[in-house]
Structure 1
Amino acid sequence: MEVAAWSLIVGTLLVLMALSGSALKHLPLSTAMFYLLVGLAIGPLWFGLARVDPIADSKLLEHLTELVVVVSLFSVGLKLSVDLDDPRWLLALRLAVGSMLLTVALITLAGLALGLPLGAAVLLGSILAPTDPVLASDVQVADPEDRSRLRIALTGEGGLNDGTSFPFVMLGLGLLGLHPLGEWGVRWLLLDVVWAVCGGLAIGGVLGTLMGRLVLHLRMRHSQAVGYDDFLALGLIALSYGAALLTTSYGFLAVFAAGVALRRVERRETATHQHEPDVPEPEPEAVVEQALSAPKPPVDADHIATHPAHAPAFLAHAMLGSTERTERIGEVAAVVLLGAMLWAVDWSLVTWWFMPLLFVGIRPLSVAIGLAGSRVVPAQRRLIAWFGVRGIGSLYYLGYAINHGLDAALANTLVALTCGAIVVSIVVHGISVTPLMEKYEKRRSTKRPEE
């Protein structure tokens, strides 16, 4: 009966979201809020169909969220089609490095005020500092041609800081005696910071570039390697992530860099073939999207996939579409899992003044300092400060810490604070995202597109 019940629940949920997803976009609600309620409903608090414990089932928590974040980061990288020397990238870097470091430090101070030991306070800061690439899709770049400074900054931040916060997870574990830091922290600095960050970015960048060039060469020159773009996307994700882990660098940064590199190859190849005299000008991107969405267009789709004018955009669109679909399914699983384990959270361990401090104190202050002197207008700065969405990435780091030997008492405290922050984020950001972003887009339409 359990299999039948689960089949009914999952099937109903997926069908409902397919039928009502477009309607929810115009309401002050998010799909994550709905998934969270479903998770609560199937947990012991309501129907008792699933019993998930964040401590006992920490392996499931870690590996499920790891998979969802990895796919999401690759998708985020593919969305960012701005050149690497574009000043918009600087905003994302300032948020993902400067603002993130300040957020870790401020949450650490708050953790000490909560009575946590230094290592656990640093760990709390590193768990809650990164913004989420999965649940923040409504404020990210809508399509590769989007040049909004706000959306690019938030998208780049979400792609980068899930990796740049990893060194502080290791630092927190090291201060608790669960990870070697070396004398005076030298090992941590050289391996967990310098090598792991640089190595992850380099591995992903190289693999994404090589994969993009190889596939486009085979398609445009030999009309080979056509189709199975979803396999290519998942294969590149797995190669980048696996290679990074084997070299003890950060896989999250590797898959993000692979997505960015693949999009860079697409832009270069498109620009190159646009100016070749024997190649017609590429038609609008609608042609590529139509070919991908047509019910059965084997000849036309294969022709577009191998045509020099369209092949690069076709490859990028197809891979982005497949990873976005996988990401959406992963979001369902991860948020339902969160809802199903809320029964096991010791809510008495949550100090509720910490939540407004995090979202309306620490986040705005870190953004204001991180973006000081930038060209971001006040309205954009306020939206960036507000949309510091916490979600699946924080759940991953929580599971990772628990599985590395975190003390049971500290684990329960971090579970309560992390789950509390994520639930608050899902609710307050889910309610506010639609009206705030619609207002922003309306104002943006009357100004320059990059505003």
Structure 2
Amino acid sequence: MVLLVSWAPKGLKQLPLSLAMICVGLGFGVFALDVIGFDPDPRTWDTITERLTELVVIISLMGAGLKLDRPVSLKGWGPTWRLLAVAMPLTIAATAWLGVIGLGFSLAMALLLGAAMAPTDPVLASDVQTGPPRSGEDNEVRFNLTAEAGLNDALAFPFVNLAILVSMAGATTWAGQGLGQWLAIDVAWKLVAGGVMGWLVGRAMGWLIFRAHERGISRHADGLVAIGATFIAYAATEIVHGYGFLAVFVCALTIRASERDDDFHEEMHDFAEQIERLLMMLLLVLFGGALANGLLDALTWTDVGVGLAILFIVRPVAGYLSLIGSPLPRRDRVLLAYLGIRGLGSVYYLAYGINHGDFGDSERLWAITGFIILTSIVVHGITSTPLMALIDRLGRGSLQGEAAPANPPPKDEQLG
């Protein structure tokens, strides 16, 4: 399986398949044949499921931040801000409404489903994200999907905490008892703390990596630095009760901004990506095993219909509405809206919510989440490669049509 992780991405580049599809299929086959004698059901191993998915998400967020060549700005990140400010709340609200009306869930359970389904997964979306640092693989679709995945995992957390609050306080009393505290702590403080701590750790790590050798401190290091920075940013932020997911992504962006064109960014990104792929492989094999052992047994045809609506109506419509008025071409807006891949981040939020709240029987909640993730892995895995190849070709064609200079001036001169 380690060799599969190493070789498969290269062999699958031109095929409508993904490493995630292969890992899930492998896990399903191994556990269906009872080769391994235990049941990897996340409902049984709830704490381990939460911790393992938490680990792979934060490492993925570090890799996502390091690969972004474009500095943070209001205009340059415009479509990303639209997806976060408009598409994400619309997706949560519509999914929660479907949970209550279509599935008969309680308000708390419907909110948890909405929050878990809202983020674009930073782990499984790697096939549609930008390439390594300074690779030039950063068209508008790839860039905005990467930036969105880096930020919306943290921005889903307040809504997960809201679902936990509703589950603990009850549907009729939560607004009066805890709404003010939720706004002050779970929304305001934790988001600010995550951003500030991520920036501080990123500044410190940037100095140690790129400036400390000027003071006589050796710069000798390898890509393992990226994992160390991930853990420091995450742990420091959790200590002050901030959102560690946000801190890790901001830390990565800050490290990248410290010395944007240094080769060491590529080494850190490549190491983080290798660790991410290994963890992803492990978790998706176990996910395939959970499917083989009955994760979807509680699924009903109504659940299937609602799950498909969440994946192929709610997210695409919310995403496209958020991009109305954007200068992006229509084809880019359609792809950004469609490629809202759901995956291991959703598993983390669901496990976290159930472990910290009081949601009662969660069999159907796990079943519909597993169905949506499986469908996303298969459908997006088949369609994303040819779609992104098409966009890359169209992008190159437009550049040629604009007669871009063969030897553009150095970046310093461009900025000047």
TM over 0.5: yes
Question: Residues of 1 paired with 2:205 and 2:84: CA distance?
Answer: 27
Partner residue, 2:290: 341
- Equivalent AA in structure 2 for residue 87 of structure 1: K
Partner residue, 2:125: 136
Which structure 1 residue ranges, 4+ long, deviate > 4 Å from structure 2?
178-182
Partner residue, 1:16: 4
Q: For each residue in 1:190-229, what CA deviation from the matched residue of structure 2 results, as whole angstroms up to 9, or x when unmatched?
A: 1000111111011101110121023212234536131234
Residue number among 205, 208, 215 corresponding to 1:214 in the alignment: 208
SS of residue in 1 equivalent to 2:325: coil
Partner residue, 2:221: 227
Counterpart check, 1:422 vs 2:416: no
SS of residue in 1 equivalent to 2:168: coil
In the TM superposition, what are the counterparts of 1:105-254 in structure 2 within 5 Å? Answer: 105-113=93-101, 114-145=103-134, 146=136, 147-177=138-168, 183=177, 185-222=179-216, 224-230=218-224, 232-254=225-247
SS of residue in 1 equivalent to 2:15: coil
- Equivalent AA in structure 1 for residue 248 of structure 2: V
Partner residue, 2:325: 373
Q: CA deviation at 1:109?
A: 0.6
The gaps in structure 2 that reach 5 residues or longer are 403-416
SS of residue in 1 equivalent to 2:124: coil
The gaps in structure 1 that reach 5 residues or longer are 1-12, 271-312
Q: CA deviation at 1:432?
A: 0.5
TM-score (norm 2): 0.89
- Equivalent AA in structure 2 for residue 103 of structure 1: T
Question: Residues of 2 paired with 1:431 and 1:86: CA distance?
Answer: 33
Partner residue, 2:414: none
Q: Is the 8 A contact 2:139 2:392 kept in 1?
A: no
Residue number among 257, 260, 264 corresponding to 2:257 in the alignment: 264
Going from structure 1 to structure 2, the CA distance change for 1:186 and 1:217 (only over 3 Å counts) comes to same
Partner residue, 2:405: none
Equivalences, count: 392
- Equivalent AA in structure 2 for residue 243 of structure 1: A
- Equivalent AA in structure 2 for residue 239 of structure 1: I
- Equivalent AA in structure 2 for residue 352 of structure 1: V
- Equivalent AA in structure 2 for residue 137 of structure 1: S
Question: Residues of 1 paired with 2:190 and 2:268: CA distance?
Answer: 27
Residue number among 263, 272, 289 corresponding to 1:314 in the alignment: 263
Structural RMSD (CA)? 2.0
Going from structure 1 to structure 2, the CA distance change for 1:45 and 1:119 (only over 3 Å counts) comes to farther
Q: For each residue in 1:223-266, what CA deviation from the matched residue of structure 2 results, as whole angstroms up to 9, or x when unmatched?
A: 61312341x21211111101111111100000000001101111
Partner residue, 2:406: none
Going from structure 1 to structure 2, the CA distance change for 1:211 and 1:181 (only over 3 Å counts) comes to farther
Q: CA deviation at 1:427?
A: 0.3
- Equivalent AA in structure 1 for residue 387 of structure 2: L
Question: Residues of 1 paired with 2:145 and 2:296: CA distance?
Answer: 32
Question: Residues of 1 paired with 2:107 and 2:253: CA distance?
Answer: 36
- Equivalent AA in structure 1 for residue 343 of structure 2: G
Q: CA deviation at 1:44?
A: 4.5
Going from structure 1 to structure 2, the CA distance change for 1:335 and 1:193 (only over 3 Å counts) comes to same
Partner residue, 1:395: 347
Q: For each residue in 1:251-304, what CA deviation from the matched residue of structure 2 results, as whole angstroms up to 9, or x when unmatched?
A: 00000000011011112xx5xxxxxxxxxxxxxxxxxxxxxxxxxxxxxxxxxx
Partner residue, 1:386: 338
Counterpart check, 1:331 vs 2:322: no
Partner residue, 1:443: 394
Query: Taking every aligned residue pair, what percent have the same amino acid on both sides?
Result: 36
Question: Residues of 2 paired with 1:406 and 1:355: CA distance?
Answer: 23
Q: Is the 8 A contact 2:132 2:270 kept in 1?
A: no
Going from structure 1 to structure 2, the CA distance change for 1:17 and 1:325 (only over 3 Å counts) comes to closer
Partner residue, 1:291: none
Question: Residues of 1 paired with 2:175 and 2:31: CA distance?
Answer: 40
